[in-house]
């Protein structure tokens, strides 16, 4: 079982399979103006799969497909801009340099990679108008959330970050309270 691959959802929603160690490739793919490895936010789905976004994602062009993929994998209902990476996560390995973080980034197993690729394809198809074989409620949720992501404002870079996080959380609460599905 190969564990060197990982996936990247580009800002335009296209999925790219990436080779090589995720711990090296993800920072480079998401690194924007910051140093590689800094400014990344981990979105934990389960014990073996995580998503990665740049922590300035609120200021980047919106990524409805990437946002929907994070939600479909179990992440928060959060507007995401810029690319989204999906990697494996090994809880059993502890990084000696950071006592507070247990685990480390690893590649995806073939099975997990295939599952994420199928889920991505379903999201793209649903957002293109196909109803497919997914439950109607799921289809409605993905379309409503993608529309919400597309309408969300790209925030200026000079906005206070703490206030921005609170505002984004409140925006997500209002969206979920509307029960658009």
Is 122 within the bounds of a domain? yes
Q: How many folded domains does the chain comprise?
A: 1
> Closest Cα to residue 122, out of 114, 110, 131, 113?
131
Count the residues in the chain.
181
**Confidence (pTM):** 0.74
Is 36 within the bounds of a domain? yes
Is 1 within the bounds of a domain? no
Is 163 within the bounds of a domain? yes
pLDDT in tens, the chain (181 residues): 445 688 999 989 999 998 876 666 676 676 543 344 456 777 777 767 888 887 666 677 889 999 999 999 988 888 888 888 898 887 765 444 444 445 677 888 888 899 999 999 999 999 999 987 889 999 999 999 999 999 887 655 444 444 555 555 565 566 566 654 4
- The pLDDT of residue 60 is 78
Two structure tokens written together for 85: 């990476």
Structural domain span for residue 48: 6-177
How many angstroms separate the CA atoms of 56 and 157, rounded?
A: 8
- The pLDDT of residue 36 is 43
Is 140 within the bounds of a domain? yes
How many angstroms separate the CA atoms of 42 and 34, rounded?
A: 16
């Amino acid at each position: 079982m190969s564990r060197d691959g990982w996936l990247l959802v580009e800002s335009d929603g296209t999925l790219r399979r990436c080779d090589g160690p995720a711990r090296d490739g993800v920072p480079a793919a998401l690194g924007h103006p910051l140093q590689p490895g800094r400014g990344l936010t981990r979105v934990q789905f389960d014990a073996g799969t995580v998503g990665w976004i740049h922590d300035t994602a609120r200021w980047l062009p919106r990524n409805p497909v990437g946002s929907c993929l994070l939600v479909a994998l179990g992440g928060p209902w959060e507007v995401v801009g810029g690319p989204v990476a999906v990697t494996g996560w090994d809880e059993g390995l502890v990084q000696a340099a950071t006592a507070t973080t247990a685990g480390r980034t690893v590649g995806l197993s073939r099975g997990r990679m295939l599952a994420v690729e199928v889920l991505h394809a379903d999201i793209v198809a649903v957002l293109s108008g196909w109803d497919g074989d997914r439950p109607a409620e799921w289809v409605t949720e993905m379309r409503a959330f993608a529309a919400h992501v597309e309408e969300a404002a790209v925030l200026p870079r000079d906005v206070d970050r703490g206030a921005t996080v609170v505002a984004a959380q409140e925006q997500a609460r209002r969206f979920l309270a509307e029960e658009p599905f």
